[in-house]
Amino acid sequence: MMMFLLICTLAVASRAEIAEEEDVLVLKKSNFDEALKAHPNILVEFYAPWCGHCKALAPEYAKAAGMLKAEGSDIRLAKVDATEETELAQEYGVRGYPTIKFFKGGEKESPKEYSAGRQADDIVSWLKKRTGPAVATLAGVTEAESLIADNEVAVIGFFKDAESAGAKAYEKAAEAIDDIPFAMTSDDAVYSKFEVSKDSVVLFKKFDEGRNTFDGELTKEKLLAFVKANQLPLVIEFTEQTAPKIFGGDIKSHILMFLPKAASDFQDKMDQFKKAAEGFKGRILFIFIDSDVDDNQRILEFFGLKKEECPAIRLITLEDEMTKYKPDSDSITAESITEFCTLFTEGKLKPHLMSQDIPEDWDKNPVRVLVGKNFEEVAFDPTKNVFVEFYAPWCGHCKQLAPIWEKLGEKYKDSADTIVAKMDSTANEIEAVKVHSFPTLKFFPAGEERKVIDYNGERTLEGFTKFLESGGKEGGAPAGDDDDDLDAEVR
């Protein structure tokens, strides 16, 4: 008995080592396995103390943890300082912050990546969907009204026979969507309350028209398309909270309106934008960006825009390669936006590639300055070996590299066949190279083949010199074959 009590005491003491901050468990490598055993369903945020996104998430994450704890849920939220617990971060493939993973049933081998929004309600809804039944059963009007009142978006299936083919297709669709609650009812009073006369599926939402009724053949695929087309507002504002929904959704074509909220004609332009959005629901996501917000300036820069150039419209595709499009007209009317989007959907638009003007002294210094307008003729000159740094002016890694790159330029300034160059990729774009992080270093060897070789070696003068002297072999790899660079600043 004494031995048993000792073991129990030790077990309690061990569990007590898992500290909490605002209802969020603080995990380390030393207590990680213990936490998974103690809590069968646990959401873990891998964060960095200096990360702005992590700081913005913190209050909502703590709020979600408190909501679940108050309900008596067995689901817990936890966090790991990935800059301190580097082994854990490496084990779970953490390459950016925050990275959020869900460990279900104490299983640590293959956690599910968290994919919903970053507000407390989004987090709680996603977790409940992951741990409970895909479809809740509504017994009466009060339960239905509570579901609708408590959620930004909720879907209710009205089925008299829960075993029907339509009801089964509905359940399959529900299982495929993590961040929206699905429910089902056969209650006559619920049918009557929501003016439903036959079996159907209704999406309720706290924006735009308030509800959408599915019309068509009840299949999993068509139901998914219906929900995904209607779950977001016609126009969604880009914020820290909405970003995951914008980038994590299935719609990869986005049209953006950059406009200051303080503008006198703000509402008029918003109405025009919203009117145009109605015709492209489910195909193009319409996004509004307040161009006066400091946190949005990087986005303006990415599109080559300045505050004073707003309002402005741009379109981007987020497929394997990001492609931007710019309308010919600066007009912001429902008609002009509709015409622009129609040309895009018909494949009749050419990508918009930004370029600065060619500086008069672009070739006067050891490191040549490239822009979109002179890149092709310099980089693909068949008589020259050209080594290019694609950088961003704000990038800390680029600033660290700058003095070394200048020394490399100095070393080869009198070379007859080697050029060291740089290009500001926040202001210049080219078809031959898609830059996703900074700095990106690429080598364009002499010849007619138009080869592009990525540099993956040490960022030292010696490393660069070996690379150039070996013709791009020492420290090089064919373009596209390199892994993501943990030290790169992602665009």
What is the predicted pLDDT for the residue at 320? 64
Nearest to 211 by CA among 222, 189, 192, 196: 196
**Residue 23 burial class via C-beta count within 10 angstroms: exposed 0-12, middle 13-18, buried 19 and up:** middle
Catalytic option among 8, 51, 310, 341:
51
Residue 324: its H or E element: strand 322-325
CA dist 166 → 80, 169, 182, 200, 229 (Å): 43, 5, 14, 9, 20
Are the CB atoms for 430 and 481 separated by under 8 Å?
no
**In whole angstroms, what separates CA 116 from the centre of its chain?**
10
**Residue 361 burial class via C-beta count within 10 angstroms: exposed 0-12, middle 13-18, buried 19 and up:** exposed
Q: Where do the structural domains in the chain lie, given as residue ranges? A: 20-131, 136-229, 236-346, 368-478
20-131: CATH topology is Glutaredoxin (3.40.30)
Is 54 catalytic? The answer is yes
Helices (H), 113-213: 120-131, 141-150, 165-175, 188-193
Nearest to 349 by CA among 248, 255, 424, 250: 255
Report d(CA 428, CA 390) in Å as an integer. Answer: 10
The CATH code of domain 136-229 reads 3.40.30.10
Nearest to 309 by CA among 326, 322, 285: 326
Is 51 catalytic? The answer is yes
**In whole angstroms, what separates CA 332 from the centre of its chain?**
27
What is the predicted pLDDT for the residue at 306? 85
> What pTM did the predictor assign?
0.61
> In the beta sheet, which residues pair with residue 94?
none
Tokens 């950059």 sit on residue: 258
**In whole angstroms, what separates CA 244 from the centre of its chain?**
5
The strand pair at 418-424 and 367-370 is best described as: parallel
Tell me the two tokens of residue 447: 């010849």
What is the predicted pLDDT for the residue at 295? 84
Superfamily of structural domain 368-478: Glutaredoxin (3.40.30.10)
What is the predicted pLDDT for the residue at 4? 33
Handedness of CA 356, 404, 396, 430 (dihedral sign): positive
Helix (H, G, I), strand (E, B) or coil at 422: strand
Phi, psi (rounded to 5 degrees) for 118: -115, 30
Nearest to 284 by CA among 262, 315, 259: 315
The number of residues in the chain equals: 491
Are the CB atoms for 287 and 237 separated by under 8 Å?
yes
pLDDT tens-place string over residues 404-444 = 999 999 999 999 999 999 999 888 988 888 887 889 999 99
CA dist 348 → 286, 342, 344, 402, 436 (Å): 20, 9, 6, 41, 26
Report d(CA 349, CA 324) in Å as an integer. Answer: 10
How many helices (H) and strands (E) would you count in the chain? Answer: 16, 24
Asked if the domains 20-131 and 368-478 are classified in one and the same CATH topology, the answer is yes
Sheet holding 418-424, edge to edge: 367-370, 418-424, 385-391, 440-444, 453-455, 476-478
CATH 3.40.30.10 fits domain 236-346: yes
Helices (H), 45-114: 52-71, 86-91
Are the CB atoms for 480 and 471 separated by under 8 Å?
no
Catalytic option among 8, 54, 310, 341:
54
Angle between helical axes of 165-175 and 220-230 (0-180°, round to 10): 50
Is 8 catalytic? The answer is no
| Predicted confidence pLDDT, tens digits, the chain (491 residues) | 333 333 333 333 344 468 889 999 999 998 998 999 888 899 999 999 998 889 999 999 999 999 999 989 999 999 999 999 999 999 998 888 899 999 988 778 778 888 788 889 889 988 888 888 889 999 899 999 999 998 889 999 999 999 999 999 999 999 888 778 999 999 999 999 999 999 999 999 999 999 999 998 999 999 998 998 898 899 999 987 788 778 877 788 999 999 999 999 999 999 999 999 999 988 999 999 999 988 888 888 888 888 888 999 999 998 766 788 999 888 999 999 999 999 999 999 888 888 889 999 999 999 999 999 999 999 999 999 999 999 999 888 999 999 999 999 999 999 999 999 999 988 898 888 888 788 999 999 999 999 999 998 899 999 999 999 999 888 765 444 433 343 445 44
What is the predicted pLDDT for the residue at 300? 87
Tell me the two tokens of residue 76: 């817990």
What is the predicted pLDDT for the residue at 9? 37
Report d(CA 363, CA 422) in Å as an integer. Answer: 11
Report d(CA 486, CA 465) in Å as an integer. Answer: 23
Is 341 catalytic? The answer is no
Q: What is the DSSP letter of 456?
A: -
Catalytic option among 8, 310, 341, 395:
395
Which residues are within 8 A (CB) of 164 and not within 5 positions of it... i.e. 6 or more apart? 199
Catalytic option among 8, 310, 341, 398:
398
